[in-house]
Amino acid sequence: MARARNKLGQFVLDRRADTIFALATARGRAGIAVIRLSGSQVYDIIRQLAGNLPSPRRAVLRDLRDSNGLVLDSALVLWFPGPHSFTGEDCGELHVHGGPAVIESIFTVLGSMPGLRPADPGEFTRRAVEAGRMDLTAAEGLADLIAAETEGQRRQALNQMGGGLAQIYEDWRARLIRLRALVEADIDFADEDLGLDLTAALMPDLTQLKAEIEAHLNDGRRGERLRDGVSVAIIGPPNVGKSSLMNALAGRDVAIVSQRAGTTRDIIEVHLNLGGVPVILADTAGLRESDDPVEAEGVARARARAGAADLVVAVQIAGQKVQHPLDHSDVMEVWSKWDEAPAGWAADKGYALSVKTGAGLDAFIHGLTERAAKLAGLGEAPALTRARHREALEQAVAALIRVDPADAGLAAEDLRVAADAIGRITGRIDIEDVLDVVFAEFCIGK
């Protein structure tokens, strides 16, 4: 393993010089398993295992053999010479049979080769970023694409992986650099008459740029909601049908349904896919005053969950007076047990439904799906997807607010801080400081 100096000037082992390997497909029995390799020794390793190397990017069938000539498996072999590969290095793939014994035997042979080691989580993608094959937002989009469970998540991740966010951030960064160049020109040539009115040259573009970043920040966290799930809390008094509604939406019995008040005491969650939007639905304890300390704690948790939710579904029995109103910005009113309502009763707002008969349930599900899609911003422009992005953009806005054309020296520094903050999102600067955080959530082999 090669050595390199760290930021303190100390010699450390340079793991980036190693050739790495990992299983790129899921573990367990499968028809095919893919083993990936990346690094300077890939060419020699594949020759040792498979004999004659195939032409670049062409799959060929080869017998893989160990150092004694024993056949390990019959596999499809590919190799991708750098820099035109995923990582920018020489890469290879072994498409072997997916039995655990086959994979283990090949891993044993690979692990015994000098300079070759198992990959760390996310190391293939990290090497791609370090080689300039993709930026950090694209790498995060790739991680989100692998983890996507709904159509909306897939589309958002694919857009981000394709550069949707990077294009926005790099445009802002380029404009900040241009504005900084104007300020520094005014500083460097202060003794010459450049005919530059710094306030007139700087402030219109700076005001517009700040407005664009603030609008991007004030998006209601729709990108994060689509990535992590829209939080929906079902609340209401005891025995109004909250748990029955929960079970109907989930399509299975996830909550206990009983005529006895106070049955639900803790929060029960279920994850739904509504129109491509991930929704985290929570059934909560009935809202009422209680001397039972356990039930009282459940009610307190219900109110706290409702307060933190993106959307509240407030359930009340059809025909009865509304109880326990909540102060929440986004509430869907539901009138349950519609089949038992007094003759002639009609809801003046919200959704009337009966879980028992199914009446009104489809209309409510359609309304909930539309509301979730709106909260997640489905189909809109690229949005913030991570707290890391939000924090960096908030730092950039704070720096732009401080810019004062009357003090060119401080203005140049504030513009640098803003540009650097945005640059950290895509990895254009200080990349080593954020790589460990970004790739910690990646799986092995990616």
Per-position DSSP letters for 354-409, written without gaps between them: -TTT-TTHHHHHHHHHHHHHHHHTTTSS-----HHHHHHHHHHHHHHHH--TT-HH
Q: Is 376 helix (H, G, I), strand (E, B) or coil?
A: helix
Is residue 7 very low, low, confident or very high in pLDDT (cuts 50, 70, 90)?
Answer: very low
Identify the residue whose tokens are 């539309």: 370
CA distance 33 to 23: 7
pLDDT of residue 258: 47
Q: Supply the pLDDT for residue 425.
A: 93
Largest CA distance in the chain: 88
In this prediction, residue 439 carries a pLDDT of: 61
DSSP 189-247: TTTS-----HHHHHHHHHHHHHHHHHHHH-STTHHHHHHH-EEEEEE-STTSSHHHHHH
Q: Is pLDDT at 10 greater than 80 in this prediction? A: no
Rounded Cα–Cα distance for residues 236 and 348 (Å): 18
Section 207-234 average pLDDT: 90
Most confident of 36-45, 277-286, 320-329: 36-45
- Higher-confidence position of 265 and 417: 417
- Tell me whether the omega of the peptide bond preceding residue 83 falls within 30 degrees of 0, making it cis: yes
Average pLDDT over all residues of the chain: 84
The CA R_g of the chain, rounded to the nearest whole Å, is: 29
Lowest mean pLDDT among 198-202, 281-285, 334-338: 198-202
Q: What average pLDDT score do residues 215-242 get?
A: 87
Task: Find where tokens 């991740």 sit.
Answer: 157
- 101-130 pLDDT, tens digit per residue, is 999 999 999 999 998 999 999 999 999 999
In which band, very low, low, confident or very high, does the pLDDT at 11 lie, cut at 50, 70 and 90? Answer: very low
Sort strands 60-65 and 11-13 into parallel, antiparallel or unpaired.
unpaired
**In this predicted structure, what is the pLDDT of residue 445?**
65
DSSP 261: T
The predicted structure's pLDDT at residue 432: 54
pTM of the model: 0.75
CA atoms within 13 A on the CB side of 39: 24
Instruction: Give the containing element (helix H, strand E) for 312.
Output: strand 311-317
Residue 16 scores a pLDDT above 50: yes
pLDDT at 431 over 60: no
For position 62, what pLDDT does the model report?
94
pLDDT for the residue 195: 55
pLDDT confidence tier of residue 99, bands split at 50, 70 and 90: very high
CA distances for 384 relative to 36, 216, 426, angstroms: 31, 8, 13
Residue that has been written with the tokens 């254009």 in this structure:
428
d(CA 341, CA 331): 22
Residue 229 · residue 215 · CB < 8 Å: no
- With a pLDDT cut of 70, the percent of the chain lying above it is 84
pLDDT digits (tens, 9 = 90+) for 343-352: 878 888 889 9
| Per-residue pLDDT at 32 | 94
pLDDT of residue 433: 45
pLDDT(6) > 50: no
E strands present in 223-310: 230-235, 268-274, 277-283
- Buried b vs exposed e over 300-315: b needs ≥16 C-beta within 10 Å? ebbbebbeebbbbbbb
Checking if the pLDDT of 182 tops 50, the result is yes
Asked if 392 contacts 421 with a C-beta cutoff of 8 angstroms, the reply is yes
Domain architecture of the chain: domains with CATH: 17-119 (3.30.1360.120), 137-219+384-439 (1.20.120.430), 226-376 (3.40.50.300)
Q: In what helix (H) or strand (E) does residue 104 lie, and over which residues does it extend?
A: helix 100-111
Question: Residue 209: which pLDDT band, with cuts at 50, 70 and 90?
Answer: very high
pLDDT at 407: 86
Q: Please report, to the nearest 10 degrees, the dihedral formed by the alpha carbons of residues 302, 303, 305, 309 taken in order.
A: 130
**CA atoms within 13 A of residue 441's CA, in its CB half-sphere:** 13
**Distance separating alpha carbons of residues 110 and 94, to the nearest angstrom:** 12
Asked which of 124-138, 143-157, 214-228, 422-436 is least confident by mean pLDDT, the reply is 422-436
Tens digits of residue pLDDT in 287-338: 767 767 777 777 778 888 888 899 999 999 888 876 655 667 788 999 989 9
Q: How far is CA 176 from CA 190, 228, 338, 434, in A?
A: 21, 31, 59, 22
- C-alpha 74/C-alpha 94 separation (Å) is 10
pLDDT in tens, 360-417: 999 999 999 999 998 887 766 778 888 899 999 999 999 999 998 888 889 889 999 9
Confidence of residue 260 (pLDDT cuts 50, 70, 90): low
Of 25-34, 67-76, 337-346, 418-427, the one with minimum mean pLDDT is 337-346
Residues 378, 389: Cα–Cα separation, whole Å: 19
- Angle, in degrees to the nearest 10, between helices 387-402 and 408-426: 170
Q: What count of other Cβ atoms lies within 10 Å of the Cβ of residue 331?
A: 17
Distance CA 236, CA 59 (A): 61
CA distance 283 to 138: 36
pLDDT (mean) for 418-427: 92
